[in-house]
Amino acid sequence: MILLQKKEGKRWLVSILHAIALLIVTLIYLRLPFTLNDEVALIEVTSGVKNILFGKQIKPPKDSLAFINVAWEKQLIPKYDNNGFPIGYIDITNRKSLGKLVWAFNKMSKPYKFLVIDIRFYLESEDDSLLSNELKKVKNCLVSYHKDANHKPEYPIFDAPLGLSDMLGQMQDDMILKYHIIQNDSLKTTPLLMYEQIHKDTIVRGSLFDELNGNVIFDSFIMDHPVRPYDLFVKKKYPYYQLSDLMSIPDDILLDIVNDYFQDRIIMIGDFENTDIHKTIYGPMPGPIILLNAYLCLKNSYNKVSIFFILFLFVFFTIISYKALTVKDPVTRFLERKFPNKNSVLQFFMDVTFYLGYFGFVSVLSYFLFNIHLTILFLSFYMSFLEKGLFFLYKRKLKKLKTS
């Protein structure tokens, strides 16, 4: 009896040590900028069930946001070849209209909360003067910039407060799955700068994890999307304007409208209907909404690494480690009774299926409890090989005992 208790205690000790190893691997994997493509289906289903079917998603109040679409407010500027000769025209967002809009925002007696202008400003036009002057005076604002093909920052032609608005896609189908709030090791993205300026906080970089608002966080995380195109175009939950409509209004009336309908709101300006559309787990989504959702994830601490999350992983990893170390565990015995004549291939397939179900359940539970997608299904194959190897060593040991 004492010998059995010692063996049991040793098995639990090894299970705990193995669980700690799995925990470290998982935390390192979760902060990587990519996710295995095989995990995407589980993420899509889990997100859909929780947020759409059960309606558990926290959405911003209706009076906290406003959106302005610039997709159809264009102007033509000359296009030149490499030798400086004109070869035609190219369309850009109308600079005169944007200048007038920013002028109106700068005149507000009751200010907006924050302004994001997610538009590329890389080409000059004859109508840049008003916009250029107003951007120098604007407060609580970020203008997007991007990286070039060599991953180096490519800044706009205007002197304005800037935020990196690049989004790194998944390997498969260029899906925007994970968001990286700091890119190239030091470039702060627009959502992070929004959070820092709105909430008067600054991220603290760490070797493994960063810290924001007193919380340990992942700087790379699978995004939730509290605001979706459905909210704008179908439910019409948030105010949505066309820039061309606003520009058709006389200046004095425009100032009244801006003061009445944009105060204390986060205002997102960009292309919501034409070119700046990206694939996500919820379908096509405009870039400005993705930037907003990344900010909302930071605000709601969806990338927080809490002690309860760590304990959650530790408990489930310990349980599954003990199962793998116990050669004749209840699950294995049940399968042996149900499939007494199974071959090694079927046995391995059954083991993988069991572990896929287990880690899938843990991933779903993690998302419902902590809003963190675990994406750890790859551990199923490792655990299956581990259990198969331990079972092989167990049978060889029994064989030696019988022959001795």
Q: Which of 353-358's residues contact partners 24+ apart within 8 Å by CB, and which partners? A: 355/320, 355/379, 355/380, 355/381, 355/383, 355/384, 356/380, 358/320
For residue 395, the model assigns a pLDDT of 64
pLDDT band at 172 (very low <50, low <70, confident <90, very high): low
> In the structure, what pLDDT confidence band is assigned to residue 304 with cuts at 50, 70 and 90?
very high
The confidence band for 75, taking pLDDT boundaries of 50, 70 and 90, is: very high
Which pLDDT band holds residue 341 (cuts at 50, 70, 90)?
low
Q: How far, in Å, are 2, 27, 44 from residue 38 at the CA level?
A: 46, 19, 11
- What would the pLDDT profile of 178-223 be if each residue is shown by its tens digit? 899 999 888 999 999 999 999 999 999 988 789 998 899 998 898 8
Q: Is 147 helix (H, G, I), strand (E, B) or coil?
A: strand
- CA-CA distance, 263 to 271, in Å (whole number)? 22
pLDDT, average across residues 267-273:
97
Q: What is the pLDDT of residue 267?
A: 98
Model pLDDT for residues 105-137, shown as the tens digit of each residue: 999 988 999 999 999 999 999 999 999 999 999
Token pair 């859909």: residue: 48
Other beta carbons less than 10 A from residue 368's beta carbon = 14
The yes-or-no verdict on residue 373 having pLDDT over 80 is: yes
d(CA 288, CA 290): 5
What per-residue confidence (pLDDT) applies to 339? 59
Burial label for 110, CB within 10 Å (0-12, 13-18, 19+), is: exposed
Q: What is the CA radius of gyration of the chain?
A: 27
pLDDT at 55: 72
Q: How far apart are CA 264 and CA 271, in angstroms?
A: 22
Contact between 119 and 102 under an 8 Å Cβ cutoff? The reply is no
Nearest CA-CA partner of 280 in 354, 228, 210: 228
**Is 324 or 269 the better-scoring residue by pLDDT?**
269
Q: Give 8's pLDDT tier (boundaries 50, 70, 90).
A: confident
pLDDT of residue 3: 38
Could you tell me which residues come within 8 angstroms of residue 151 by beta carbon, excluding any fewer than 6 positions away? 184
Distance CA 290, CA 387 (A): 42
What's residue 212's pLDDT?
Answer: 93
Question: Which range has the worst mean pLDDT, 153-167, 227-241, 335-349?
Answer: 335-349
How does pLDDT run across 218-236, given as a tens digit for each residue? 988 988 899 999 999 999 9
Query: Residue 177's pLDDT is what?
Result: 87
Position 171 scores a pLDDT of 47
Q: Residue 64 — left, alpha, or beta (φ > 0 → left; ψ -120 to 50 → alpha)?
A: alpha
pLDDT at 90: 92
Task: Confirm if 164 and 189 have CB atoms less than 8 A apart.
Answer: yes
Beta strands in 254-379 (DSSP E): 266-270, 277-280, 283-286
Indicate the average pLDDT of the chain.
87
Look at residue 404 in the predicted model and tell me its pLDDT.
60
Give which of 103, 105, 396 is closest to 264, Cα–Cα: 105
- Distances 264 to 9, 63, 113, 187, 259 between C-alpha atoms, Å: 60, 8, 4, 28, 10
DSSP state of 158: S
What does the pLDDT look like over 281-296, one tens digit per residue?
Answer: 888 999 999 999 999 9
Q: Which amino acid appears at position 245 of this protein?
A: D
What are the respective helix, strand and coil percentages of the chain, to the nearest 5? 50, 20, 35
Q: What is the pLDDT of residue 124?
A: 92
1 has a pLDDT exceeding 60: no
pLDDT value of residue 49: 82
Helix (H) or strand (E) holding 180, with range, is: strand 178-180
Closest CA to 246 of 79, 100, 78, 91: 100
Q: How far apart are CA 295 and CA 139, in angstroms?
A: 18
Q: What number of other Cβ atoms are within 10 A of residue 151's Cβ?
A: 10
Lookup result for tokens 């759409």: 52
Q: Which residue type sits at 327? A: V
Residue 11 confidence class, pLDDT cut points 50, 70, 90: confident
Contact 218, 209 (CB under 8 A): yes
Distances, alpha carbon 18 to alpha carbons 15, 87, 355, 382, in Å: 5, 66, 16, 12
pLDDT digits (tens, 9 = 90+) for 16-50: 999 999 999 999 888 887 777 778 888 888 888 88
User: Residue 325 half-sphere exposure, CB side, CA atoms within 13 Å?
Assistant: 19
Could you tell me the pLDDT band of residue 4, with boundaries at 50, 70 and 90?
very low
pLDDT of residue 105: 97
How many other β-carbons are positioned within 10 Å of the β-carbon of residue 278? 15
| Measured distance CA(215)–CA(209) in Å, rounded | 10
With a cut of 80, say whether residue 340 has pLDDT above it.
Answer: no
pLDDT of residue 2 exceeding 60, the answer is: no
Q: How many Å separate Cα 55 from the centre of its chain? A: 19
Predicted pLDDT of residue 22:
94
